[in-house]
Amino acid sequence: MTSTAAATAVDPIAERAAVAVAHPNIALVKYWGKRDEAMFLPVTGSLSMTLDIYPTTTTVRLIEGSADTVVLNGHTAIGQAHTRVVRFLDMIRARAGRAEHALVDSTNAGPTGAGLASSASGFAALATAAAAVYGLDADARTLSRLARRGSGSASRSIFGGFAVWHAGEGDGEAGDLSSYAEAIEGDALDPALVVAVVDHGAKAVSSREAMRRTCATSPLYRPWADSSAADLDEMRKAIARNDLPAVGEIAERNALGMHASMLAARPAIRYLSPQSIAVLDRVLALRAEGVAAYATIDAGPNVTVLCARADAQRVAAALVELGDFVAPTVAHLGPGAALVTGRER
């Protein structure tokens, strides 16, 4: 990429490029299942914490060409990865009444497609940069709704700290307007999340396909969705009263229930590996030793462990002892998506 360091303007439209940074979020009450696939409307509300690690940096530059080019982690994207971004840009262009094509260049500091929310940070950064460069006047709620259309969980990465993504009501347009994330109070809890990467590889079944199959075939899906709605209410109260053990217990049962619903899908979806189970066992053992540590797992084998900031190093050390296969990274509450500048860095 050429540098425009000499430029002084920061107006994205004048500059024809915008750069945004967003961080992944880990759901403590999960989003699993859509009621409207086209609009990315969830069956249940969810609640997450945005992390301060693994940012995605995305540049959207308007170009003269007749097609969009998408570069992900230094490689030109083709197939589905390309189509997903182009569809997203089409949606932004339609809203903005603009037609120019773009070069999208996005880099993840963390593992991509491994169940560590790279699509959340990716589409939150893309929504923020694309809205700016195409001149959409979008507040945070609108950005959250736009990001949702790229990847549901991205709706939450627009916000820092804890965020709730409301399921909203109805389908289509009504659902679209009512299904957005917003930040909630909770910074006083100040937890740590120890991210135990046991596998950097991309998952075999996408979360989109896995959700679809779980909803359509798992007899455990409805019970999980019903209990998840109750988990969300309880989680909000637990965060409000700064109750880390309650937050951890709700998060762990919610995630294990989600994986149970997937295991009961036909055919079964199993993201958990022997290494994931080893981490889960160690977390249980830590609790028996008196450390308030609780596990959550997204659509992949990697486990994240919620604990108090003061316990994070002890938890990370316990996971390292399991063997070479675990590489723990300690994260805390991180910031929401932000436009870095209208011009390139």
* CA 97 – CA 94 distance, rounded (Å): 5
Binding of residue 228 to ligand PMV (CB under 6 A): no
Q: What are phi and psi of 210, to 5 degrees?
A: -65, -40
Task: Between 15 and 40, name the residue whose CB sits nearer to ligand PMV.
Answer: 40
**Site track for ligand PMV across 118-147, x = CB under 6 A:** -x----------------------------
Strand 101-108 and strand 34-36: pairing? Answer: unpaired
With contacts defined by CB under 6 A, how many residues of the chain interact with ligand PMV? 13
Task: Between 207 and 261, name the residue whose CB sits nearer to ligand PMV.
Answer: 207
* CA 121 – CA 175 distance, rounded (Å): 23
In the bound complex, what is the minimum distance in angstroms from residue 259's beta carbon to ligand PMV?
A: 9
- Residue 232: half-sphere exposure toward Cβ, Cα within 13 Å: 20
Residue from the set 23, 31, 55, 180 that interacts with ligand PMV by CB under 6 A: 31
Give the SS3 label for residue 20: strand
Task: Between 15 and 298, name the residue whose CB sits nearer to ligand PMV.
Answer: 298
- Residue 220: half-sphere exposure toward Cβ, Cα within 13 Å: 15
- How far is C-alpha 91 from the chain's CA centre? 20
Among 84-92, 150-158, 167-175, 178-186, the segment contacting ligand PMV (CB under 6 A) = 150-158
**Site track for ligand PMV across 40-79, x = CB under 6 A:** ------x---------------------------------
Task: Between 161 and 342, name the residue whose CB sits nearer to ligand PMV.
Answer: 161
* CA 34 – CA 208 distance, rounded (Å): 9
**Site track for ligand PMV across 185-224, x = CB under 6 A:** ----------------------xx----------------
Binding of residue 153 to ligand PMV (CB under 6 A): yes
The alpha helices in 41-150, defined as continuous H runs, are 79-96, 118-133, 140-148
In the bound complex, what is the minimum distance in angstroms from residue 84's beta carbon to ligand PMV?
A: 11
Task: Between 51 and 244, name the residue whose CB sits nearer to ligand PMV.
Answer: 51
Residue from the set 58, 112, 151, 157 that interacts with ligand PMV by CB under 6 A: 151
In the bound complex, what is the minimum distance in angstroms from residue 327's beta carbon to ligand PMV?
A: 20
Binding of residue 298 to ligand PMV (CB under 6 A): yes
Sheet holding 46-50, edge to edge: 25-29, 46-50, 162-165, 181-184
* CA 59 – CA 133 distance, rounded (Å): 10
With CA atoms as reference, report the closest residue to 320 among 194, 220, 204. Answer: 194
The alpha helices in the chain, defined as continuous H runs, are 12-15, 79-96, 118-133, 140-148, 154-157, 172-178, 207-217, 221-240, 244-263, 274-288, 312-320
In the bound complex, what is the minimum distance in angstroms from residue 112's beta carbon to ligand PMV?
A: 12
* CA 197 – CA 328 distance, rounded (Å): 6
In the bound complex, what is the minimum distance in angstroms from residue 10's beta carbon to ligand PMV?
A: 31
Where along the sequence are the contacts to ligand PMV (CB under 6 A)?
A: 27, 30-32, 46, 119, 151-153, 207-208, 298-299
